[in-house]
Amino acid sequence: MEVELLTGRHHQIRCQLAHIGCPIKGDLKYGAPRSNPDGGICLHAWQISFVHPVRKEPLIVTAPVPETWKGVKD
């Protein structure tokens, strides 16, 4: 699932997904049935973009999904 944040409000993604009955895997605070073995939640920013504060050029930073999440089912 890809989500684009509009407001940047704290826990926005977690709240909205829980509200429609789809809590994030491992997110006990917002209704997941059980935690992940490492205590984290399966929420990952694979790409972030912003304007460099000095050069004023757009920057895009990407990170792959963690290997430990691949093929994991709840």
Q: What pLDDT digit, counting tens, does each position of 6-50 carry?
A: 777 878 899 989 999 999 999 999 999 999 888 889 988 888 899
Question: What pLDDT does residue 72 have?
Answer: 64
Whole-model pTM: value is 0.71
Which of these, 58, 55, 43, lies nearest to 11 by C-alpha position? 43
CA distance 4 to 23: 17
Using CA atoms, how far residue 49 sits from 8, 10, 12, 37, 71, in Å, is: 14, 19, 18, 31, 27
The residue to which tokens 């789809």 are assigned: 22
Domain boundaries, the chain: 12-69
